[in-house]
């Protein structure tokens, strides 16, 4: 006699589907990050990977266009001022 499926089985299937979607999204974002530019997109200052630059430089990901922008702290401040209207 076939009854209703157990709640655990349904929840497990939903959880697996969510995990699969999350893994795909993470892989896509990681691939984009590997394509990051080697310098500031505004002033072309070279990006040297150090602990300080990793903490201070801004990375902007435009998901729809699959584009990654890297901005140095000085240019990022200018961008913020223009956006804020100051």
Residue 25: per-residue pLDDT = 87
Question: What are the mean pLDDT values of the chain's consecutive 10-residue runs (86 residues total)?
Answer: 65 88 87 79 90 89 82 92 82
The answer to whether residues 9 and 43 belong to one domain is no
Residues 30 and 43 in one domain: no
- At residue 86, the pLDDT reads 61
Q: What is the pTM of this model?
A: 0.57
Residue with structure tokens 């070279």?
46
Q: How far apart are CA 15 and CA 43, in angstroms?
A: 45
pLDDT for position 3: 63
**Domain range enclosing 46:** 37-86
Q: Do residue 21 and residue 45 come from a single domain?
A: no
């Amino acid at each position: 006699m076939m009854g209703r499926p157990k709640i655990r089985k349904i929840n497990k299937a939903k959880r697996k589907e969510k995990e699969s979607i999350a893994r795909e999204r993470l892989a896509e974002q990681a691939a984009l990050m590997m394509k990051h530019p080697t310098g500031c997109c505004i002033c072309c200052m070279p990006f040297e990977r150090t602990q300080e630059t990793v903490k201070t430089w801004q990375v902007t990901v435009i998901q729809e266009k699959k584009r990654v922008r890297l901005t140095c702290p000085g240019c990022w401040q200018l961008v913020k001022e223009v956006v804020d209207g100051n």
